[in-house]
Amino acid sequence: MIRQSTNSSRRTYFLIIVSRGWPYLLHYTLSEEEAGALAKEFIRRSKEARPSIVVAGGDGTLHNLINWVAVDAIEKDGPIPGAAFFLVPTGTANALYSSLYPRTDQIFTHPLIISNPDQRAAYGLQSITAGDTKPRVLNVAAARIYEANSTHPSSTTLSVVVNSTSLHAEILDTAEKYRDSIPGIERFKVAAAENILNWTSARVELFPLPHSGVVKQYDPAQRTFIPVTGVSGSDAVRLEGPFFYFLSTVNVDRLESALITTPLTKTLVDDDDKEFLDVIILRPARNPTFQGNNEEERKSFIGTATKWFNAMYSGGTHIHLSYNEEVKQDPTYVTEYFRVGGWQWIPDGDDHASSLLCVDGTILKIPNGGKATVSVTVSKDEDEGFRVFA
Domain boundaries, given as residue ranges, for the chain: 7-138+383-388, 141-376
What is the per-residue pLDDT across 146-180, written as a single tens digit (0 to 9) for each?
Answer: 999 999 999 999 999 999 999 999 999 999 999 88
Of all residues in the chain, what percent carry a pLDDT higher than 90? 58
Indicate whether 187 pLDDT > 80. yes
Return the pLDDT at 2. 43
First to last CA, the chain: 18
Q: Report which residue type is found at 17.
A: I
What is the per-residue pLDDT across 267-317, written as a single tens digit (0 to 9) for each?
Answer: 999 888 889 999 999 999 999 999 999 999 999 999 999 999 999 999 999
Indicate whether 265 pLDDT > 70. yes
Check the CA dihedral 207-288-332-164 and report its sign.
Answer: positive
pLDDT band (50, 70, 90) for residue 318: very high
Average pLDDT, integer, range 93-111: 77
Burial classification of residue 169, based on how many CB atoms lie within 10 Å of its CB (0-12 exposed, 13-18 middle, 19 or more buried): buried
Return the pLDDT at 233. 66
Tell me how far apart the alpha carbons of residues 224 and 222 are, in angstroms, rounded to a whole number.
5
Indicate whether 4 pLDDT > 50. no
Indicate whether 117 pLDDT > 50. no
Return the pLDDT at 330. 73
Mean pLDDT, the chain, rounded, equals 87
Q: CB neighbours of 57 closer than 8 A, spacing ≥ 6?
A: 3, 4, 5, 88, 90, 91
Average pLDDT, integer, range 112-117: 51
Q: CB neighbours of 125 closer than 8 A, spacing ≥ 6?
A: 13, 16, 88, 108, 110, 113
Range 7-138+383-388 classified under CATH 3.40.50: yes
pTM for this prediction: 0.91
What is the per-residue pLDDT across 201-248, written as a single tens digit (0 to 9) for each?
Answer: 999 999 999 999 999 999 999 999 999 987 766 789 999 999 999 999
Average pLDDT, integer, range 51-63: 88
Return the pLDDT at 186. 87
Q: CB neighbours of 105 closer than 8 A, spacing ≥ 6?
A: none
User: Which one has a higher pLDDT value, 384 or 343?
Assistant: 343
Average pLDDT, integer, range 336-342: 98
CATH topology for 141-376 is Tumour Suppressor Smad4 (2.60.200)
Burial classification of residue 258, based on how many CB atoms lie within 10 Å of its CB (0-12 exposed, 13-18 middle, 19 or more buried): middle
What is the per-residue pLDDT across 127-153, written as a single tens digit (0 to 9) for each?
Answer: 877 766 788 999 999 999 999 999 999
Return the pLDDT at 326. 59
